[in-house]
A and B are shown apart, each in its own frame.
Chain A
Amino acid sequence: MKFQKTGYHGLYFPELGISLDGYHPKAAYTFVSHAHADHMPRNKSTRAYASKPTLELMKLRGFRGKENPIAFGEPVETDNCRITLYPAGHILGSAMIYIESDSGTLLYTGDYRTPPSPASEGFEAPDHADFLITEATFGLPIYRWKPYEELTFQIQSFAKESLEAGYTPIFLAYNLGKAQEVMHLVAPLDHPVMIHGAGYKLCSVYDNYGIELGNYSAYDRETCEGKILIAPSSALSNGFASNLRKTRVAYCSGWAANESRRTQLTVDKLIPISDHLDFFELIAFCKKLNPKKVYITHTPNPAVVQHYLDLENIDSAHLEMEAEPED
């Protein structure tokens, strides 16, 4: 199956007339895995096919092309192929894109997480694909995630203990996906939450699809004391909650697995909760899908993943994309 890069992070399939996660002038269909900036097409002429929540989130983040919602598991037939979305467990609306054509089957993962994020539609995958294009953001064996029960416990107890000691807890979490996941996990505490403006406007989509985000409002400097606060990591250096004297800060990201982040960000707690799958899940997934060839993207360490796929006798190649791994 032939494909080539298009734009900064998209793929174009000339024989099929489709593109994934990027605009191409000759593509009649552009399938979008999810609404993160490093996957979302920006061109106004894009005919985007994606899950409904993804399209709604894209719109809120400035997408102005044509929107064609499709449901998970319900195939779209084009002239040359059949496309099915599978829930990717990464963020709300995130999908893996499964292509069936005369030249074989291909699964494009976008970003994915298994076991899935509790603030997503879950995770489901086809049993087999001839080709797999997979992200490998955390493609090193130093990355193995703790089960959600434990991560939830860490997040909830950080919030509870900080509040009990008279501190305002701040969770540093990326605006789309991680922020809402953390809100979902602290919702059972039934304590008011305030979220940074950029993330706030995206929350309504989560509400609409029945993800419980608890009692939340937009961040307000004057009244934020004593609330559970949520902000992207860049916010702290821009004066977020800088009027509060007693705060405790937790950084929620897969990158929090690395101790060096502690001093780089000056935080009290590192909570390694990721919306990408870990290294061990990645290798297990490749084995299970048993493709003829795996293409690895979105990773600083393709050689390590390839080394492990070699050991499993799975053919692989590095597909270089220009993208910052955001988590």
Chain B
Amino acid sequence: MRTLLVWLAGALSLAGSSQAALASGWNMPVGVTDLSREIYNLHMTIFWICVVIGVIVFAVMFYSLIRYRHAKGAKAANFHENTTVEVIWTAIPLLILVGMAVPATATLKKMYDTSDAELDVMVTGQQWRWHYEYLGEDVAFTSNMSTPRAQIRGDEPFGENYLLEVDQPLVLPINRKVRFLFTADDVIHAWWVPDFAVKQDTIPGFINENWVRINEPGIYRGQCAELCGRDHAFMPIVVHAMEEDDFDTWLAERKEAAAEEALGVEREWQKEELMERGEAVYASICASCHQPDGEGSPPAFPALAGNQRMLEDREWHTNVIIDGVSGTAMPAFRSTLNPVELAAVVTYTRNAWGNDTGSEVQPSTIAQRLGQ
């Protein structure tokens, strides 16, 4: 038993002295918005009220335990009722609670006020990534975790931002009120960035609102907070908050790139081009369920390699990707992917991993199909 205790003490002191302990917080972050600061203060106020009550209550308790020990010959009193005391210790907590409720109510009202936003961002949760759309700006993209699986498996050393890094961060301006519109394509997720004190469920069929006005430029990280299936731990959120000018420049560039992409729908694509693009789309969107090698993980996620129905019926194959399959985990990608990406991924899946249909689908065909 002694060895166990020594071992335990060793483990504890190790934990206390390691680097990460210094870097990590023990407490809620104050955050970088007025509201997150307000919520932090509310949290600390309630915390200290609880500490004071706890100290008083436990002091009386431990005083009694020490002072009135049977072993020391304490003689028990016989009182067992006092209405006055009961009324007092019902009323005082009630007053303390009212005192807590007043500032909480005020803060809550501010959190719910999503009016007068200068920028609207639609956030869509998908298994297991985030899709961001700048409403009215024709800019949209998907954000995937970029931590390599080899790090997770332990084949490579952990990176600095292990599990909290993405391929494309959400970019937001500081000092502007940004309204988020949250929804989901499949199951419920929750978008949470602690530094903004914004956590909101993204629910299929619902649109939730929340908002943020960031005070300082920087990179802020968060995670999905609602259990959403296998890779719940692996859909982080990274927000890059920029000075307003920088943000405007960034947004203009992205708009230009999006317009160029739209032109690509008109032209005839080479099969090699489609395959190359399709491989990238597959890796970022499809591989999390159907696996990089197309073997899937049945029964939930069918194999694509050698899938007879898919290979024989191109029409059906295309429709499944565009419309999803009702009652299964396969979502509709009509609004997440553009015609080029859809055509590319159909072509890729028909010709990868030994699938040798040789057939391809042109973006213009998909655009027509979507237009119907």
Q: Are A and B co-members of a single complex? A: no
**Which residues from chain A sit less than 8 Å from chain B, CB to CB?**
none
